[in-house]
Amino acid sequence: MSIVWRSLRNLFRSPLRTTVMVALLAVCIGLALTMATVHGATQNQLGNIGAEIGTEITIQPAGSAGSAGSSGSGVVVAGVVGSDKTLAQEDIDKLSDIDHVVSVQARVETYYTGDSLESAFELSIVGNPPPGDSSSGDFRVPITVMGFDTATKDPKLMGDAHVEITKGRYFTSDENDADVMVVGKDLADKNNLSVGSTVDIKGTLVTVIGIYDSGTAWGNNMLVMPIGTAKRLFGLNGATSVTVQADNVKNVDEVVASIREVLPKDVADIITAKDMYESINGSVTNAESSSTIGMIVAFVVAGVVVLFSVVLMIRQRVKEIGILKAIGASNWRIGLQFSLETLAVSVVGAIIGALITYPLAQKVANLMVGGNSTGSGAGGTLIEGSASSVTVGGSIGGLHVAVSPTVFLYALAIAAALAIVASVLPAWYIGRVRPAEVLRNE
Amino acid sequence: MNNSNGTIVTVDKLIKHFKSGGSTVPAVDDVSFSLPRGRMIAIKGASGSGKSTLLNLIGALDKPTSGTIVVDGVDVSQIHGRGEVKYRLSKVGFVFQSYYLVPNMSALENVMLPMELMGTKRKERQVKARELLERVGIDDPHQARRPTRLSGGEQQRVAIARALANDPSIILGDEPTGNLDSKTGKRIVEILYSLTKEGKTVIVATHSTEIATRADIVLEMTDGKVTIASAFERV
């Protein structure tokens, strides 16, 4: 019988003790791996936050940001609605040439208060009549009109709302000035609009080519048009808002400086997402620190559990150690047998711990980042802003934890490390056992 | 007793003290003797007289406070570490009162264990272990049993087979019949005695008159000293 086989068999001498030891180790190693996984995810997330929030620069006509009701943090995502101020197209065209600029998304935003459409919102929600459309007689609840360049992929509405077509289609690139629009589903329901319906907007019949669901009530009460169409129908020039994306959060200041050369302070307000970046960054950094501490604590506890179990095991089997010594086993040989037993227990505990990590990691991450973050698809989690009710999104605030199969390799490494650490004390103890003492007649 | 050609054990001015509380207790107190090869030697004495301690010192299970023990050319009082392991593995075989078999191993595996430690090949040790067990009267079905499923006499016979596994020159028995009934004890004594016919030296610490009467030499111990040494001519 080989020493390996004998060691494995020894584990079944006390099934209860082995089970308890494996269970404790599984929990500790599972927690350690969970913390390690969350730690890795937080580091990725910090990178994502930098790439997705911190790189966004919003440009609006000078003085319009305040009138548009910007958020408490000073971040304006929505832009100016109903304002007659715009950014000149020739200036916007220059922005794409600035170093470190990845994309430039121009848009116009205005209100429609004509008779052809009725808002899905009640009057009390909106409050005072907005500026802008003066064509109506009696006050009507305004409907937000957004105009996007048809080349813009995944256009963002206000806040985090995106246009997700549920019926019909979105614009094609050659429809920048076509009389077409897509309509939010609440607005479509309210006005009995379907794909193919036509609506008289300021004397022009505009065809509904798609219905979308933005995921928010506000976003679903909008008209979305090609930017050329919106400008033509509502008499706008340039753009009411431009979003510039820098390639890296580190280059934002440099990009802002270059934008300033094109658009001086008296022409445009430039708003970066630095405050928001720092706020969310702080939250995720806290989670990172907590996961690091948790990981260390779990490792230490796992080490203590193994050490305690091995000491208990050795003290219970001191007579056996004496017998083995009396028949000629070396300290090294006896130590190896106990180490193999510890390794076997640690490996089983580690594998179970790794399996625990799969369901546990996301839950722990959610707890660490905050109660209002929820796990979803690939990075698709949300953290909602507080005072301003501005929703910032995409894959920025929440923490999506993907547990990789390599977690098993880490688990085995932990098991090996624990077994090695836990072998030091037994080796010392075995060396001190005198057979004559432990085998003295009972 | 002092036959230099056939001497296997030479003990000279051997002292072993134990510390008990603040005082020192002499378990073996200035003992000197020589023992011939191929004989059965009984060490008799009351409990606490030092006979088990003397046996442990000869078997290198304990270290003397002073003095020398030379066994089959090896100065046991001077060996440490690997030398000690090698000595226990190849020169001596132990038989204990409480058998001390490894509980989760079968009788066969227990006998194979010293050979495994010696580095004997698996097949070879299996064959030899079976031979030894059959020799002490443990048949095939019993060989696969664990110690808990064997009687006391069977366990002690397995222990004797294990002691013989690496063909040592000395078998040391510490009250080997102490836990057995007289009939079973007698059988064990006969097995041990039979080993002397193969040239092995058997040293047994015992209370048993049965063993003492079967022994070639009897050492009487009182308060750590060898008080009487009797040698008998073998018939």
pLDDT tens digits for range A259-282: 999 999 888 988 887 666 776 677
In this prediction the pTM is 0.62
Q: Do B89 and A325 touch (CB under 8 A)?
A: no
| Among A73, A23, A110, A26, residue whose Cα is nearest residue A411 | A26
* Order of strands, sheet of B92-96, starting from the edge strand that comes earlier in the sequence: B92-96, B170-174, B201-206, B40-45, B217-222, B225-231
Q: What is the pLDDT of residue A396?
A: 39
Mean pLDDT of chain A: 78
| Among B227, B212, B234, residue whose Cα is nearest residue B42 | B212
Q: Do B61 and A435 touch (CB under 8 A)?
A: yes
**How is chain B split among helix, strand and coil, in percent rounded to 5?**
35, 30, 30
- The predicted-structure confidence for A393-405, as pLDDT tens digits, reads as follows 333 345 677 777 7
Chain B partners within 8 Å of A437 (Cβ)? 62
Most distant CA atoms of chain B, gap in Å? 53
Mean pLDDT of chain B: 89
Chain A partners within 8 Å of B19 (Cβ)? none
Q: What is the mean pLDDT of residues B159-180?
A: 92
Nearest to A436 among B61, B90, B114 (CB): B61
Rounded to whole angstroms, how far apart are CA atoms A425 and A335?
Answer: 10
Q: Do A435 and B98 touch (CB under 8 A)?
A: no
Q: Do B175 and A325 touch (CB under 8 A)?
A: no
Chain A partners within 8 Å of B96 (Cβ)? 326, 439
| Among A417, A420, A407, residue whose Cα is nearest residue A35 | A407
The answer to whether residues B147 and B158 touch, using CB atoms and an 8 Å cutoff, is yes
Rounded to whole angstroms, how far apart are CA atoms A322 and A436?
Answer: 8
Q: Do B94 and A327 touch (CB under 8 A)?
A: yes
Rounded to whole angstroms, how far apart are CA atoms A191 and A208?
Answer: 12
A-B CB pairs within 8 A amount to: 70
> Quick check: A323 contacting B, CB < 8 Å?
yes
| Among A299, A298, A352, A320, residue whose Cα is nearest residue A426 | A320
For residues A379 and A115, the model is more confident at: A115
**Judging by DSSP bridges, how do beta strands B40-45 and B217-222 pair with one another?**
parallel
Chain A partners within 8 Å of B125 (Cβ)? none
* DSSP letter (8 states) at residue A87: B
Q: Do B62 and A434 touch (CB under 8 A)?
A: yes
Q: Do A13 and B104 touch (CB under 8 A)?
A: yes
**Judging by DSSP bridges, how do beta strands A204-212 and A165-168 pair with one another?**
antiparallel
CB count in 10 Å sphere of residue A282: 10
Chain B partners within 8 Å of A3 (Cβ)? 116
pLDDT-wise least confident of A131-140, A347-356, B145-154: A131-140
Q: Where are the alpha helices (DSSP H) in chain B?
A: 51-58, 81-90, 107-118, 122-135, 140-143, 152-164, 182-196, 209-214
Nearest to B89 among A1, A12, A328 (CB): A328
